[in-house]
Chains A and B, each alone.
Chain A
Amino acid sequence: MSRIRLAMLLFVASESVFFILLIIAYVVYHATTPSAADAFRYLDVPKTGIFTACLVGSSFTMWRAGIHFRNGARRAALALLFTTLVLGTAFLAGQGVEYVSLIRKNVIISRDLFGTTFFTLTGFHGLHVFIGLTMLGTLFGLELKRGIVDPLRAVDSVSIYWHFVDGVWAVIFPVVYLWILQ
Chain B
Amino acid sequence: MNGGSVPPEKAGTVFQMKEYKGLLSWLSPVDHKQIGIMYFITSLTFFLVAVSLAMIMRTQLIRPNHGWLSSATYNQVFSMHGTTMVFLAVMPMLIAFMIYFTPLMIGARDVAFPRMNALSYWLYLMGGLLLYFSFFTGGALNVGWSAYAPLTETNYTMSKYMIGTGVDYWIVGLLLAGAGTIMNSVNILVTVAALRAPDMKLSRVPLFVWMSAANAVLMLLAMPALNTALVMLFLDRHLNALFFVPAAGGKPLLWQHYFWFFGHPEVYILILPGFGIISEVIPVFSRKPIFGYAFLAIATVAIGFLSFGVWAHHMFATGMNFTVYYVFALASMLIAVPTGIKVFNWIATMWGGSISFDTAMLFAVAFILQFTIGGLTGVAFATVPIDWALTHTYFVVAHFHYTLLGGTLFTVMAGFYYWYPKITGRMLSEKLGKIQFWLMVIGFNGAFFILHFAGLAGMPRRVYTYPDLPHLASINLISSLSAYILALGILVFFANLIVSLRKGKPAGDNPWNGATLEWATSSPPPPRNFERIPPVRSITPLWDLKESGRLPDTLPSSSRERDNE
Is the C-beta of B220 less than 8 angstroms from some C-beta in chain A? Answer: yes
Complex CA distance for A28 and B255, rounded to whole angstroms:
13
Cross-chain contact A10 with B186 (CB below 8 angstroms) = yes
Cross-chain contact A110 with B221 (CB below 8 angstroms) = no
Q: Which chain B residues in 224-270 approach chain A with CB under 8 Å? A: 224-225, 227-229, 231-232, 235, 239-243, 248-251, 254, 258, 261
Q: Which of B220, B239, B250 contacts A13 (CB 8 A)?
A: B220
Cross-chain contact A18 with B224 (CB below 8 angstroms) = yes
Contact with A along B178-195 (1 / 0, CB 8 A): 000010011101100110
Instruction: Please give me the residue from chain B that is nearest to A35 by CB atom.
Output: B249
Cross-chain contact B242 with A112 (CB below 8 angstroms) = yes
Instruction: Please give me the residue from chain B that is nearest to A18 by CB atom.
Output: B224
The answer to whether A13 and B221 touch (CB under 8 A), given A25-B232, A112-B248, is yes
Cross-chain contact A120 with B254 (CB below 8 angstroms) = no
Q: Interface range on chain B: under 10, 10 to 19, 20 to 34, or 35 or more?
A: 20 to 34
Tell which of A10, A22, A32, A112 has the most Cβ of chain B within 10 Å.
Answer: A10
Shortest C-beta distance, A149 to chain B (Å), equals 15
Shortest C-beta distance, A31 to chain B (Å), equals 12
Q: What are the residues of chain A within 8 A of B228 when measuring CB–CB? A: 17-18, 21-22, 25
Complex CA distance for A3 and B113, rounded to whole angstroms:
9
Q: What are the residues of chain B within 8 A of A33 when measuring CB–CB? A: 249
Shortest C-beta distance, B191 to chain A (Å), equals 9
Complex CA distance for A159 and B222, rounded to whole angstroms:
25
Chain A interface main SS type? helix
Q: Which chain B residues in 88-112 approach chain A with CB under 8 Å? A: 112
Instruction: Please give me the residue from chain A that is nearest to B250 by CB atom.
Output: A113
Shortest C-beta distance, B111 to chain A (Å), equals 10
Q: Which of B182, B249, B258 contacts A11 (CB 8 A)?
A: B182
Q: What are the residues of chain A within 8 A of B231 when measuring CB–CB? A: 120, 124
Is the C-beta of B38 less than 8 angstroms from some C-beta in chain A? Answer: no
Is the C-beta of A15 less than 8 angstroms from some C-beta in chain B? Answer: yes
Q: Which chain A residues in 20-61 approach chain B with CB under 8 Å? A: 21-22, 25, 28-29, 32-33, 36
Complex CA distance for A112 and B189, rounded to whole angstroms:
42
Q: What are the residues of chain B within 8 A of A103 when measuring CB–CB? A: none
Is the C-beta of A79 less than 8 angstroms from some C-beta in chain B? Answer: no
Shortest C-beta distance, A6 to chain B (Å), equals 5
Complex CA distance for A124 and B225, rounded to whole angstroms:
14
Cross-chain contact B225 with A21 (CB below 8 angstroms) = yes
Q: Which of A3, A6, A18, A25 contacts B243 (CB 8 A)?
A: A25
Is the C-beta of A116 less than 8 angstroms from some C-beta in chain B? Answer: yes
Complex CA distance for A95 and B182, rounded to whole angstroms:
29
Cross-chain contact A113 with B249 (CB below 8 angstroms) = yes
The answer to whether A21 and B258 touch (CB under 8 A), given A7-B113, A10-B190, is yes
Q: What are the residues of chain B within 8 A of A10 when measuring CB–CB? A: 185-186, 189-190, 220
Contact with B along A1-19 (1 / 0, CB 8 A): 0010011001101110110
Is the C-beta of B272 less than 8 angstroms from some C-beta in chain A? Answer: no
Shortest C-beta distance, B95 to chain A (Å), equals 16
Complex CA distance for A6 and B249, rounded to whole angstroms:
41
Cross-chain contact A28 with B242 (CB below 8 angstroms) = no
Complex CA distance for A163 and B113, rounded to whole angstroms:
23
Cross-chain contact B239 with A110 (CB below 8 angstroms) = yes
Shortest C-beta distance, A2 to chain B (Å), equals 8
Q: What are the residues of chain B within 8 A of A120 when measuring CB–CB? A: 231-232, 235, 241, 243
Is the C-beta of A109 less than 8 angstroms from some C-beta in chain B? Answer: yes
19 A-B pairs in the complex with CB atoms less than 8 angstroms apart: A7-B113, A7-B190, A10-B189, A11-B182, A17-B221, A17-B222, A18-B227, A21-B225, A25-B228, A29-B249, A32-B249, A33-B249, A109-B235, A109-B241, A110-B240, A112-B242, A112-B248, A113-B242, A115-B241
B residues with a Cβ closer than 8 A to A are 112-113, 182, 185-187, 189-190, 193-194, 220-225, 227-229, 231-232, 235, 239-243, 248-251, 254, 258, 261
Extra pairs beyond A10-B185, A21-B224, A36-B248 (10, CB < 8 Å): A6-B193, A14-B220, A15-B224, A17-B224, A25-B228, A109-B240, A109-B241, A115-B241, A115-B242, A116-B250
Which 5 A-B pairs rank lowest in CB-CB distance, beginning with the nearest?
Answer: A110-B240, A18-B224, A17-B224, A21-B228, A33-B249
